[in-house]
Structures are given as structure tokens and as C-alpha cells.
Chain A
């Protein structure tokens, strides 16, 4: 696994031009998450309309992996229903924690399969999960009922 393979074009493109970036209103909940080991941080807002995530907006600073992963996540979940978004969360997490052994479903994860290579660098998995963890927390705080996911450690 080379860094060229790790930093795929998709990741660099999302890093350069983050989709859905910037904090917007209205929103149901706002959270602030940090990765204390490197200082990456994200402030993330979520708006839920019925069963659907109607918007995710964020202000984030950090490495290419964390920024691109958050950008890709927003593409995936905005307009999607909450339960299916959390199923995607679980699939993404399974890929990231699989140390490169898990074959991702491209139809489901779309651009997010570009992070499969990052899974081979355990120190960077947290970077890829930062935005996703913030999203999940924001959904909890906005009062929506979340399904229990496979492999939840809590």
C-alpha cells in the first residue's frame, strides 16, 4: 500500500473542494468533535425532517482524510432516511475497522470506498470516522430514535 494509493484522486478532490461545507440553518442539533491526538476538529449540524436527514452542514479543520470523509458522508446522507444513513455508518465503520480485509459494497458506499486503503493505517481510521461519529452524535442529540448497530461497543 503506497501513499499514492491511499490518497486517491477522490479523496484529494473532496479535500480541495469540500461538499456541503459551512454551517447552515435551520438545524436540529449541533455538536463539536475533536481528535485529541492530532487536533482535527469538526462542528457539525444536522436537520431532520420526519424520517429524513434534510441537511448536514459543518465547519471543519483537519487532515485530508478527515475532511474528505466528512464531505463524502454529506453527499451520501443528505436526503436519505435516518435508519438507512445509520446502516451506511455501520458499513463504513466495518470497512474502516477491517484492516483492508473487508470488501466494500460500491453501490452502497459510492465515493466512500476510496477510503478502503486508509483502513490499512490504523492511526488514520479515527480521521476517517470523525465526521461520521459527529453525525451520529448530532442525530442522538436532535432526539431521533437510532437503531442499534452491529458492533456497537457502547
Chain B
């Protein structure tokens, strides 16, 4: 088993106090904290090796290019890609999904259908709305069951995926419900009608051992800042044959072959999709994050996530007035635990918990349609990572119980 107490030494921020209490950081699904070695790798890059990539031919340029392309190789290996040419650097997962929706959208027309789900993050929803608006294609979606899982049965009954379906795009792990979706099953279904399977791996890749081939994805988006890496960089992985067919997304330097005033030809993947100076130092940081995760081991990290999630579910589940959204047992379930507390709005709960050093997220977590579907206006969300300890879960549970009393009983409020 992974030992979070030992790991915490690598994350200086976790020693902080907030409002006179030790920080209890339970907002890792929003963004993870960074180990010292990631920050140091980026610092060393800027202070010792900084230059532009590809276009700078001098020694520093060669070093920067090697570091940048080296990170691409590490990331490809991390998700078991067949080649690092399948790894496209973007600014974040949102840009990766926009890249997918824009380029696949160019092949769509009236009569075509795109299928997503009601549990998607806005980043895997709005880009497809835009693609459908631009092309005349129709957007359809999976519903969820009462326990917060993808409703495969009703989808089958309604022929949700059919010969008109050109793209299916789903979250691997829901950032609100924690549900792990059966990507392989849906991918096989999508492939049987010739559709492309896009996967939003923003919450899955940081916590689980990822094998893109086993997963069944054709395109997979994820973001570095949720896996101990820096902000400002994300990835779209794609099957090479598919990437080779797709048109460019953004135009500019580095993505071209021959440029004339009348027209241009484009570089092969992945550079075709990387216009302009890329996030170089961020790629170095992302590579260092992946080295770090590999050293600890993704199997260990996933097991630890399950352990922490089980503790949060049983701790919060035992409190009066607390309702958990999404699966209540750790079966096909990731680490985001969203909940409501009777009489305490998530915004107020966040404030009360913060006063005790406990950081959670309150709101709709960029999934407003899902909250509407669940008939709640908003929720609170606790999410841990490899550095989260059982003691922190206890602190959360105690602080939620205190907040409930603070709002719901006069004596509790006045004590």
C-alpha cells in the first residue's frame, strides 16, 4: 500500500495552515497539488536550458527540443500509446476536446449524430454543441440511472447509437458522480456503426493505469494539472491513422510543411495540431509529474483512491442530512464525492469548511445539465489524491457535521 504520510513530504503546500488550521486539501479533482520535483524540473529548464523548440538550432535549442520531445515520449509510454507521434500537446483538456470536436466536426453534416452523456463536464459538451451548430448534425445523449450510472438499457432501447452516429464522446470518470463509465462496451458499440470514440480522461488518467488500446478510445483528452503537473498543458492522444486524416485546428508556425501565399501544406501529426510556440516548460513539468507517478505506481495510486473514497462515502454517508450524488459503493467508482447537506447551501458549506482549513468545491462543477438532471441546484465535492490521508477524511466529516449544526440548530450556531 502507498503511504500518504511519506508522500506528503514531497508537497510543501500540504504543510500550510489555512485560517489557523492545518490545510486539508480535498479539491484535487479540480486541480492537484504539485510535488517539489515537478517545480524544480521547470525551474531548471528555465534557468539552465531555456530556448524555443524545433526552430532554434543552437545548443540550447537542441536541449529544449530534446526535453520537450522527451516529455512527449514519457506521456506516450504512460498511456501505452503505440508511438509518441500520437501525443498532441494542447493548453488543457478543454482545448484537446475542442480540437477533437472541431476537426471531427468538419466531417459532419445534416443527418449525422453526435452522442455524449448528461454527466459530461461543460468541456465535453459545449464543443460538441458548437460542432453540431456549425455542421447541422444532431446532438444526442445518454441519460443516467437513479444510482448515477450511464443508462445503457434505455440507450439500447432508443437506438441511441445507430448508423447515423459519427462520434461518441464520454467521460471515462465523472468529475461529479465519480462514476467510471464502461468505455470499452460503448466503444465497441460505437465502432460497430463506424463512429469515432472520444474519451474525456481528465479524471481517469490521473488516478488509473491507462492503456489507450484496452480502453477502446480513438481519441483521449487529459490535462496535466490534475496529475501533479503544471497548469497550461494538456494532451489529446489519438490513433495515428485517425489523426493523419484530420484537418488542422489552429494555423501558424510549426504546423506547416510548405507555405505559399495562395495555400499551404501541413505537417504530419502531432505537429499539424500544434501551432506556434508550445508550452515547453510545462511539458518538462508534465514529464516530471509522470516520472513521479510512475515511481509511486499507478496501481498503488488507484488502490489508495479507492480506500480514501470508501472512507469519504462511509463517513459522510453516516451523517444526518447528507445526501451523496452518484454511486455509494466503491465499485466502478472514482474519487470525486459530491453531496448535498440539508439546510446548508454548497456555497455556505464551502465557506464554513474553509474556516476550518478544509478545501472543497461548491457549485455545479462545470456540469450544470447533470445537476438539473439530478434535480439539485448545486452540490459540494470532496476529492482526494495520492497525498490524502484517512485523518483528513475525518477532518472533513467532522467539519461537515459541525456545519450542519451551525446552520440547523440555534444552540449549535451560538456555541
The residues of A with any CB-CB pair to B shorter than 8 Å are: 2-3, 6-7, 9, 12, 37-41, 61-65, 67, 121, 124, 127
Q: Is the CB of A3 within 8 A of B351?
A: yes
List 10 extra interface pairs beyond A3-B406, A38-B378, CB under 8 A: A3-B352, A7-B406, A7-B413, A61-B377, A63-B346, A63-B347, A64-B345, A65-B348, A121-B351, A124-B347
Cα A137 to Cα B46 with chains together (Å): 50
A64/B407 in contact, CB under 8 A: yes
CB nearest to A118 among chain B residues: B351
In the complex, what residues of B have CB within 8 A of residue A2's CB? 355
Closest to A3 in B: B355
Say yes or no: is B268 at the interface (Cβ < 8 Å to chain A): no
Knowing A61-B377, A64-B407, the reply to whether A40 touches B351 (Cβ < 8 A) is: no
The closest CB in chain A to the CB of B414 belongs to A9
CB pairs A–B below 8 angstroms (21 shown): A2-B355, A3-B351, A3-B352, A3-B355, A6-B351, A7-B348, A7-B406, A7-B413, A9-B413, A37-B363, A38-B362, A38-B363, A39-B364, A41-B377, A61-B377, A62-B345, A63-B345, A63-B346, A64-B407, A121-B351, A124-B351
B72 on interface, CB distance cutoff 8 Å: no
User: Which 3 pairs, one residue from A and one from B, show the smallest C-beta to C-beta distance?
Assistant: A63-B347, A63-B345, A3-B355
Q: Which residues of A contact B377 (CB under 8 A)?
A: 39, 41, 61-62
CA–CA, A63 to B345, complex, Å? 5
Q: Check B371–A64 contact: CB distance below 8 A.
A: no
Q: What residues of chain B lie closer than 8 Å to A40, measured between beta carbons?
A: 347
B368 at interface, CB cutoff 8 A = yes
In the assembled complex, the Cα of A38 lies from the Cα of B406 at a distance in Å of: 21
Q: Is the CB of B371 within 8 A of A39?
A: yes
Tell me the smallest distance from the CB of A7 to a CB of chain B, in Å.
7
* Neighbouring A residues of B378 by C-beta, 8 Å: 38-39
* Dominant secondary structure at the A interface: mixed
**A-B contact number at CB 8 A:** 45
- Bound together, the chains give a CA A37 to CA B352 distance in angstroms of 18
- Name B413's closest neighbour in chain A (CB-CB): A12
CA A62 to CA B348, docked complex, whole Å: 9
Chain B positions within 8 Å of A63 at CB level:
345-348
Complex interface: chain B residues within 8 A of A65 (CB): 347-348
**B200 → A minimal CB distance (Å):** 21
Q: Which residues of chain A come closer than 8 Å to B407, judged between CB atoms?
A: 12, 64
Q: Smallest Cβ distance from B338 to chain A, in angstroms?
A: 13
Complex formed: what's the CA distance from A2 to B352 in Å? 9
Q: Which residues of A contact B362 (CB under 8 A)?
A: 38
* Of the residues A6, A39, A62, A124, contact of B368 by C-beta under 8 Å: A39
B80 to chain A, nearest CB (A): 38
Chain B 245-276 near chain A by CB (<8 Å), digits 1 or 0? 00000000000000000000000000000000
Bound CA span A3–B407, Å? 11
B363 touches A39 (CB 8 A): yes
A9 CA to B364 CA, complexed, in Å:
28
In the complex, which residue of chain B has the Cβ closest to the Cβ of A67? B345
Question: For residue B352, which residues in chain A have a CB less than 8 angstroms away from its CB?
Answer: 3
- CA distance in complex: A38, B380 (Å): 11
Q: Quick one: CB contact mask for B345-360 with A, threshold 8 Å, 1 for yes?
A: 1111001100100000
Interchain CB contact (< 8 A) of A64 among B348, B355, B363, B364 = B348
A121 to B406, CA, bound (A): 19
CB distance from B349 to the nearest CB of A (A): 9
Chain A residue at minimal CB-CB distance from B403 = A3
- Find out whether the CB atom of A127 lies under 8 angstroms from the CB atom of B355: no
Q: 0/1 per residue, B202-216, Cβ < 8 Å to A?
A: 000000000000000
State which residues 95-125 of B face A: CB under 8 Å.
none
The residues in B between 265 and 304 inclusive whose CB is less than 8 angstroms from any CB of A are none
**How far, in whole Å, are A81 and B9 apart by their CA atoms in the complex?**
62
User: Nearest CB to that of B378 among chain A residues?
Assistant: A39
Bound state CA distance, A121 and B348, in angstroms? 12
Q: Which residues of B contact A9 (CB under 8 A)?
A: 413
A12 to B352, CA, bound (A): 14
Q: B285 to nearest A CB, angstroms?
A: 28
Which of chain A's residues have a CB closer than 8 A to the CB of B364? 38-39
Task: For the complex, give the distance between the alpha carbons of A67 and B363 in Å.
Answer: 16
Report which residue of B346, B351, B362, B378 has the largest number of chain A beta carbons within 10 angstroms of its beta carbon: B351
How distant is B128 from chain A, measured CB to nearest CB, in Å?
Answer: 20
Give complex CA distance A38, B379 in Å: 10
Q: What residues on A are CB-neighbors of B363 within 8 Å?
A: 37-39
- CB nearest neighbor in B for A41: B377
In the complex, chain A residues whose CB is within 8 Å of the CB of B406: 3, 7
Closest CB-CB distance, A100 to chain B, in whole Å? 16
CB-CB nearest in chain A for B362: A38
**Cα-based distance from A9 to B355 in the complex (angstroms):** 18
CA distance A39 to B350 in the complex (A): 14
Hey, which chain A residues are within 8 Å of B355, CB to CB? 2-3
CB nearest to B343 among chain A residues: A16
| Interchain CA distance A63-B406 in the complex, whole Å | 14
Nearest residue, chain B, Cβ from A124: B351
